[in-house]
Amino acid sequence: MRERSITRLLHVLKSSGPQTAAAVGQRLGVTSVAARQHLARLAAEGLVSFEDRAQGVGRPRRLWRLTRKGHAQFPDSHAQLALDLIQAAGRVFGAEGLDRLISAREAASLALYRSRLGGGSLGRRVRRLAAIRSEEGYMAEAVPAPGGEFLLFENHCPICAAAAACQGFCRSELALFSAVLGPEVQVERLEHILAGARRCAYRIRRRRARGARN
């Protein structure tokens, strides 16, 4: 299996979550048999694993997913350097100083996002936000949902090590999304990588007017 094919297969599982061999093959343009062979080789290397799920009558579905080692194939934005800097900032400036640094980063990001997001419909702004986040390494995608809502998925966290050491980064990002999309928009985190989910997910919708009925 060539290196490029390995990268593509890992990317499919990273961006789409657990998949059958047939689904992987369809995404890669190969047969399900060939995809299964590739997956078996990666499993032998500890990069992927599988789970058999019952689906009523018939054989269970075998779903393939990335292991921790597989997720580690995606860059984490110089994780050790980030950890060292966070620890040093905490020692030198204390918790309050670290919060001020995170706030400064949030303000800089907000200015950048606002300059690039522009106006337009909520859907356009959410799609543009996903594109910006993807450029930053978050493998983000915007998906329409019923009722005029949108889901923002981030399949990778390039600052995961830093966020694990200081969860102020995660709180800051949630506040950043709310600020850049405007006061009329509500942003809610549904899934969180640091809580054990495979990705971060956000529900984005317009706030209901006061007194409005369901």
Q: What does the pLDDT look like over 8-47, one tens digit per residue? A: 899 899 888 889 999 999 988 889 999 999 999 999 988 9
CATH number of 79-206: 3.30.1380.20
Phi, psi angles (nearest 5°) of residue 118: 70, -165
Cβ atoms of 71 and 11 closer than 8 Å: no
The closest of 46, 104, 83 to 161, measured between CA atoms, is 83
Give the pLDDT score at 125.
95
Cβ atoms of 140 and 153 closer than 8 Å: yes
Question: In the chain, which segments carry CATH 3.30.1380.20?
Answer: 79-206
Please tell me the pTM assigned to this model.
0.66
Cβ atoms of 65 and 50 closer than 8 Å: yes
Give the pLDDT score at 213.
52
Partner residues linked to 154 by β-bridges: 140, 200
Q: What CA–CA distance (Å, rounded) separates 108 from 103? A: 9
Q: Which two tokens stand for residue 149?
A: 């809502």
The pLDDT of residue 80 is above 50: yes
Topology, domain 3-71: Arc Repressor Mutant, subunit A (1.10.10)
Question: In the chain, which segments carry CATH 1.10.10.10?
Answer: 3-71
Phi, psi angles (nearest 5°) of residue 208: -75, 140
- Contacting residues for 41 by C-beta, under 8 A, at least 6 apart: 1
The closest of 3, 78, 68, 10 to 39, measured between CA atoms, is 10
Give the pLDDT score at 202.
97
Q: What does the pLDDT look like over 112-171, one tens digit per residue? A: 999 999 889 999 999 999 999 998 889 999 999 999 999 999 998 887 767 776 777 888
Q: What does the pLDDT look like over 36-78, one tens digit per residue? A: 999 999 999 889 999 888 877 778 889 999 887 888 777 655 5
The closest of 196, 204, 199 to 179, measured between CA atoms, is 204
Element at 173 (helix H, strand E): helix 168-181
Cβ atoms of 198 and 156 closer than 8 Å: no
- Contacting residues for 72 by C-beta, under 8 A, at least 6 apart: none
Q: Tell me the pLDDT of the chain averaged across its residues.
A: 85
Dihedral (CA of 145, 206, 204, 195) sign: negative
